[in-house]
Structure 1
Amino acid sequence: MSLAHISNVRAPAAGQQYRIALMQPYFLPYLGYFQLIAAVDCFVIYDNVQFIKNGWIERNRYLLEQEPKWFRVPLTKGSHTQQIMEKRIAETFDPGDILNKLSFAYRRAPYVARMLAWLEALLVEPAQNIAELNERILRACCCLIGLQTPIIRSSELSISTDSKAQDRVLEVIQACAGTHYLNPFNGGHLYRAEAFQQAGITLELLKATLPDYQQGRSEQPFVPGLSILDVLMYNDAQTVGAWAKRGEIVRA
Structure 2
Amino acid sequence: MDLSLLVWISIENCISLFLQNLFYEAQKMIIAIHQPNYLPYLGFFDKMKWSDLFVIYDDAQFNKGDFQHRNKIRIYNGWKWLTVPVEKKQIPIKDIKIKNHVTTWKGIKWSDSHFMEIRDNYKDTPYYSTYETELISIYKKKYDRLIDLNMVIINFLKKVFDIDTKIVFSSDLGFISKSTERLVEIVEALGGDIYLSGPKGRDYLEVLLFEKKGIKVEFQAFKSPVYKQRYEGFIPNLSAIDALFNVGEIPK
Q: Could you say which TM-score interval applies, normalised by the shorter chain? A: 0.7 to 0.9
Structure with max Cα Rg = 2
Contact 1:74 1:92 in 2 (8 A): no
Conserved? CA contact 2:227–2:234, under 8 Å: yes
Q: Aligned residue for 1:146?
A: 162
TM-score normalised by L of structure 1:
0.82
Letter in 2 for 1:33: F
Residue in structure 1 matched with residue 116 of structure 2 by the alignment: 100
Q: CA deviation at 1:209?
A: 3.0
2:20 matched residue in structure 1: none
The 5 Å alignment of 1:100-249 reads 100-159=116-175, 161=176, 163-217=177-231, 220-237=232-249, 240=250, 243=252
**Structure 1 position 147, deviation (Å):** 0.3
Whether contact under 8 Å (1:66, 1:223) holds in the other structure is no
Identity within the alignment, %? 29
DSSP 3-state at the match of 2:133 = helix
Q: In structure 1, the residue corresponding to 2:224 is in which secondary structure?
A: coil
8 Å CA contact 1:49–1:83 kept in 2: the answer is yes
- Alpha-carbon separation, structure 1, partners of 2:143 and 2:173: 22
Aligned residues: 221
Q: For residue 190 of structure 1, report the CA deviation from its aligned partner.
A: 1.3
The answer to whether the Cα contact below 8 Å between 1:26 and 1:58 also exists between their aligned partners in 2 is yes
CA distance in 1, matches of 2:92, 2:207: 27
Q: Deviations over 1:122-175 (max 9, x none)?
A: 23233331112111211111111100000010011132x2x1000011111112
CA shift for structure 1 position 178: 0.8
2:70 to 59, 64, 77: 59
Runs of 5+ consecutive residues of structure 2 not aligned to the other structure: 1-23, 103-108
Between the aligned partners of 1:173 and 1:166, the Cα distance in structure 2 is 11
Q: Given that residues 37 and 43 in structure 1 are in contact (C-alpha distance below 8 angstroms), is that contact kept between their aligned partners in structure 2? A: yes
Structure 1 CA distance for aligned equivalents of residues 52 and 76 of structure 2: 39
Q: Alignment RMSD, CA only?
A: 1.9
> What is the distance in 1 between the residues matched to 2:136 and 2:37?
18
CA contact (8 A) 2:115 2:139 kept: no
Which structure's residues are more often helix, by fraction? 2
| Alignment check: 8 A CA contact 1:76 1:87 kept | yes
1:85 corresponds to which residue? 94
User: Residue 108 of structure 1: SS of its match in structure 2?
Assistant: coil
Aligned to 1:7: none
Amino acid at match of 1:60: N
**Residue aligning to 2:81:** 70
Deviation of the 1:112 alpha carbon: 2.1
